[in-house]
Amino acid sequence: MERDVEKGVKRLKWAKDHMKVLKRVRESVKKAGHLDGVKISMALHVEAKTGILGLSLREAGATVKMASCNPLSTDDSVAKALREEYGLDVYAKRGESEEEYYKNLNLILDQDPDVIIDDGGDLISLVHTTRRDLLDNIKGGAEETTTGIVRLRAMESEGKLEFPVMSVNDAYMKHLFDNRYGTGQSTIDGLLTATNLQVSGKNFLVGGYGWCGRGIAMRAKGMGANVMISEVDPIKAVEANMDGFEVLPMHEGIKKADFVVTATGCKSVVDEE
């Protein structure tokens, strides 16, 4: 049987071969020396593509420490390969407890970073609360996702954000291709792996018709599902209707749904009721 670390190395190599834009960026940043001696602490989903990002930043001159931004998304084979074959400091394992999750975020911060890369806002929030001693050295950061940006904008409007953060999600290339097409595909992939059910002919309810929700709905429809949308924003609800979907409140849709996916960034969209 293939060992985890070998599987991880293969995944990393496959991803690297498909990341040609990053290759160009890596080469130009390395040549310019912009990252020489820069300490980067990053909390991202730990999987092959972000692994290649971490290795690229290191190759371009930075010292990189990596943890997960989500206790459930780590690809353990990749994390192991990054540690054992590439010598990258990665602190993450799939299914880690909340305590382990925060311990790992703290471990990557111990290097007194110059730059923070975050996905969801937990790492930046930690620096602004229990690790405020690090604020003096931090030059700036980047935040990946919609929910993280919402949290950071709230901090900014209260005057509580203490270093500049680049909103990666605002790039059209990000929210169009990652949120819509990337999440659209990977959600269906995860659902199929978890349930081993056929999507075709099923009633498929999507909560939220934003960038991710539109992608998920589009892919489910393409696979033959009867897609319904639940959306609180009336304009997006009309958009869903005009895209050909039935739009209805969650508590009505869920009565006939075989699959329910929420893509809202909010809690309790499906509640006990």
Amino acid identity at 27:
E
Task: Assess 231 for contact with ligand NAD (CB under 6 A).
Answer: yes
Extract the tokens encoding 70: 């989500």
**Do residues 26 and 64 lie in contact, with contact meaning Cβ atoms separated by under 8 Å?**
no
Binding mask 163-202 for ligand NAD (x = CB under 6 A): ------------x--xx---x-------------------
Count residues contacting ligand NAD (CB under 6 A)?
24
Q: Which of 10, 22, 134, 210 is the binder for ligand NAD (CB under 6 A)?
A: 210
CB of 84 to ligand NAD, least distance (A): 26
CA atoms within 13 A on the CB side of 268: 3
CB of 157 to ligand NAD, least distance (A): 17
For ligand NAD, give the closer residue by CB, 30 or 174.
174
Task: Assess 263 for contact with ligand NAD (CB under 6 A).
Answer: yes
**Do residues 140 and 164 lie in contact, with contact meaning Cβ atoms separated by under 8 Å?**
yes
CB-CB neighbours of 151 under 10 Å: 20
Question: CB-based burial of residue 127 (10 Å sphere; 0-12 exposed, 13-18 middle, 19+ buried)?
Answer: buried
Short-list 166, 108, 114, CA closest to 137: 114
Residues 109-168 that bind ligand NAD (CB under 6 A): 145-147
Q: How far is CA 34 from CA 26, 52, 91, 143, in A?
A: 11, 19, 26, 20
Residue 117, beta-bridge partner list: 42, 142
Task: Assess 104 for contact with ligand NAD (CB under 6 A).
Answer: no
Task: Assess 71 for contact with ligand NAD (CB under 6 A).
Answer: no
Question: CB-based contacts of 154: which residues, under 8 Å, 6+ apart?
Answer: none
Task: Assess 245 for contact with ligand NAD (CB under 6 A).
Answer: no
For ligand NAD, give the closer residue by CB, 155 or 269.
269
177 DSSP 8-state letter: I
CB of 65 to ligand NAD, least distance (A): 21
Extract the tokens encoding 68: 């997960």
Task: Give the residue at shortest CB distance from ligand NAD.
Answer: 210
Q: Which of 164, 233, 238, 251 is the binder for ligand NAD (CB under 6 A)?
A: 233
Q: Is 34 helix (H, G, I), strand (E, B) or coil?
A: coil
For ligand NAD, give the closer residue by CB, 91 or 209.
209
Binding range to ligand NAD, per CB under 6 A, among 25-33, 134-142, 156-164, 263-271: 263-271
Q: Is 158 helix (H, G, I), strand (E, B) or coil?
A: coil
For ligand NAD, give the closer residue by CB, 5 or 69.
69
Task: Assess 39 for contact with ligand NAD (CB under 6 A).
Answer: no
CB of 262 to ligand NAD, least distance (A): 7
Extract the tokens encoding 170: 């605002």
The binding site for ligand NAD (CB under 6 A) comprises: 145-147, 175, 178-179, 183, 207-213, 230-233, 236, 263-266, 269
